[in-house]
Chain A
């Protein structure tokens, strides 16, 4: 075992210990385990949300995308800043309603808001499906991380198994409380490691940032702007737009949002999160430095780690690896906890209404294990880059946004049928496109590339919204007629 691996293992033990400490002396009901009893203050909520935003994907996937596709990677920073703004208006009403109705998960939000257990169940399933590519990213990253820092001694697949077991132990120990404290440690580490790598590496190899970009430009003249075709300007705009639109739709964001003790936290977050997004800039610097320094590297997702291995002593590689580990554990535990909670409250509970709290806890934990196994399988079999998996996950969660946002209005034009069918169509399109590898160009061969390059999520979203409105209108005729006749509504 080399120094790097020893350091990574030490950090794993520390985070498990933090989880145990956080758990001590607290009765863990399902509400406690999942959302910390709605007692978290503004800065803590910020740390948790930031913790979910900045995962190991930020380190490996972002630098990998910059390495592989250059300027296309800038979309990540753009949508993070724009998406964060929406926190100001979207999250307070969601939080308020959840608090009034004692809601603990996203799918429960849908089932209560639309008064339909069926819709809640459906959203729970979508949530699980949408998180599978993301959790797969985490396990894959864990594999990359451990195999790279072991200097090839541990194979990627063995590393994925080790990583999965570490994550499971961590999640079982303490639920969200452990995540919150480890999130503090992780945010601290990721902040300094990204800043250090992003400043040191370009200066070390090129003297200045300008020097770095000129070297990139000399080597690949088109890397610093969007290409005319493929990940072009219209790809960029459509991808930023839908990603920002659905920024807080992650099922694992919901428990964090509900764990807040006030609506003000979210308005403060809208101020803090965009500037915090600048961290991503420093990851770009790493990716571009790797582009110049590691011309022979095949897999961009290894760029950050390979460049670290080339540049630093093993102990520092260990720190980078430990940062990646924590950046996997924190979001990973959030995702697993929220999906398991959703399955339990929306699928198991309706089937077995008299289930005890203790059994609910057990069932949630059982699903955590099951889900981990599924994602382990995918992370070993999928050949996609981290960034591709991320885009897929995003296209899936986007489909929940329209019916959720409209449900926040005083008078919702959408009903449960419209919401369900719209989402179903959107999700079906995304899944079909993902597995069949269809592109917009295949669908519309005669249209100009400005249309062909659009993110396919836009088509899914458009279909979703149209169906949602049409179906709602058709299935609601009678109620609409009644409400139009009432003078109160005419005044609106």
Chain B
């Protein structure tokens, strides 16, 4: 277990744990109601976080088969 793997837990906390707090319309961000914006934000951050993990992980440097 590499410590930076824990970064991947953040989106789960934000979306599952955050839902009760962000279930609101105001403020609109980028024209989107806040609840929708929050989910979009974290979908993007999922990719960003996984990219960071992908680059840090030595597994992806070696050539398997």
Closest to B47 in A: A275
Chain B contacts of A268 at CB under 8 A? 54, 60
Please provide the chain B residues from 1 to 31 with a CB less than 8 Å away from any CB of chain A in the complex. Answer: 5, 8, 11-12, 15-16, 19-20, 23-25, 28, 30-31
Asked whether A213 lies within 8 Å of B32 as measured between CB atoms, the reply is: yes
What CA separation (Å) do A80 and B43 show in the bound complex? 9
Chain A contacts of B16 at CB under 8 A? 82, 237, 240-241
Asked whether B28 lies within 8 Å of A226 as measured between CB atoms, the reply is: no
Asked whether B33 lies within 8 Å of A208 as measured between CB atoms, the reply is: no
Q: Is A2 an interface residue (CB 8 A)?
A: no
Q: Is A210 an interface residue (CB 8 A)?
A: yes
Asked whether B40 lies within 8 Å of A77 as measured between CB atoms, the reply is: yes
Chain B contacts of A267 at CB under 8 A? 54, 57, 59-60
Please provide the chain B residues from 27 to 55 with a CB less than 8 Å away from any CB of chain A in the complex. Answer: 28, 30-33, 35-36, 39-40, 42-44, 46-47, 49-51, 53-54
Task: Report how many A-B pairs have Cβ atoms within 8 Å.
Answer: 113
Asked whether A85 lies within 8 Å of B8 as measured between CB atoms, the reply is: yes
What CA separation (Å) do A225 and B37 show in the bound complex? 12
Closest CB-CB distance, B27 to chain A, in whole Å? 11
Asked whether A85 lies within 8 Å of B46 as measured between CB atoms, the reply is: yes
What CA separation (Å) do A275 and B28 show in the bound complex? 21
What CA separation (Å) do A430 and B24 show in the bound complex? 32
Asked whether B32 lies within 8 Å of A81 as measured between CB atoms, the reply is: no
Q: Is A428 an interface residue (CB 8 A)?
A: no
Chain A contacts of B31 at CB under 8 A? 208-213
Asked whether B11 lies within 8 Å of A236 as measured between CB atoms, the reply is: no
Asked whether B65 lies within 8 Å of A261 as measured between CB atoms, the reply is: yes
Chain B contacts of A84 at CB under 8 A? 46
Chain B contacts of A88 at CB under 8 A? 8, 50, 53-54
Asked whether B39 lies within 8 Å of A78 as measured between CB atoms, the reply is: yes
Asked whether B25 lies within 8 Å of A81 as measured between CB atoms, the reply is: no
Closest to B61 in A: A264
Please provide the chain A residues from 50 to 91 with a CB less than 8 Å away from any CB of chain B in the complex. Answer: 71, 74, 77-78, 80-82, 84-85, 88-89
Interface size class of A (residues with CB under 8 A): 35 or more
What CA separation (Å) do A77 and B32 show in the bound complex? 15
Chain A contacts of B54 at CB under 8 A? 88, 267-268, 270-271
Chain A contacts of B32 at CB under 8 A? 209, 213
Closest to A284 in B: B36
Question: Contacts A74-B36, A82-B12 hold; do A224 and B46 have CB atoms under 8 A apart?
Answer: no
Asked whether A81 lies within 8 Å of B42 as measured between CB atoms, the reply is: yes
Chain A contacts of B65 at CB under 8 A? 261-262
Asked whether A274 lies within 8 Å of B50 as measured between CB atoms, the reply is: yes
What CA separation (Å) do A244 and B40 show in the bound complex? 16
Closest CB-CB distance, B59 to chain A, in whole Å? 7
What CA separation (Å) do A29 and B26 show in the bound complex? 58
Chain A contacts of B50 at CB under 8 A? 85, 88, 270-271, 274
What CA separation (Å) do A211 and B51 show in the bound complex? 34
Chain A contacts of B33 at CB under 8 A? 71, 213, 217, 224-225
What CA separation (Å) do A277 and B43 show in the bound complex? 7
Asked whether B43 lies within 8 Å of A274 as measured between CB atoms, the reply is: yes
Q: Is A278 an interface residue (CB 8 A)?
A: yes
8 Å CB contact of A78 from B15, B23, B44: B15
Asked whether B64 lies within 8 Å of A210 as measured between CB atoms, the reply is: no
Asked whether A77 lies within 8 Å of B47 as measured between CB atoms, the reply is: no
Q: Is A263 an interface residue (CB 8 A)?
A: yes
Closest CB-CB distance, B14 to chain A, in whole Å? 10
Asked whether B23 lies within 8 Å of A225 as measured between CB atoms, the reply is: yes
Asked whether A263 lies within 8 Å of B64 as measured between CB atoms, the reply is: yes
Closest to A232 in B: B23
Asked whether A226 lies within 8 Å of B35 as measured between CB atoms, the reply is: yes
Q: Is A380 an interface residue (CB 8 A)?
A: no
Asked whether A81 lies within 8 Å of B46 as measured between CB atoms, the reply is: yes
What CA separation (Å) do A277 and B31 show in the bound complex? 19
Chain A contacts of B39 at CB under 8 A? 74, 77-78, 81
Given contacts A85-B50, A213-B32, A226-B19, 6 further A-B contacts (CB under 8 A): A78-B42, A78-B43, A85-B11, A213-B25, A225-B24, A233-B20
B contact set with A: CB distance below 8 Å: 5, 8, 11-12, 15-16, 19-20, 23-25, 28, 30-33, 35-36, 39-40, 42-44, 46-47, 49-51, 53-54, 57, 59-60, 64-65
Give 7 CB contacts A-B under 8 Å.
A78-B15, A78-B39, A209-B30, A224-B33, A270-B50, A271-B47, A278-B43
The 6 A-B residue pairs with the shortest CB-CB distance, nearest first, are A274-B46, A210-B31, A209-B31, A81-B43, A275-B47, A224-B33
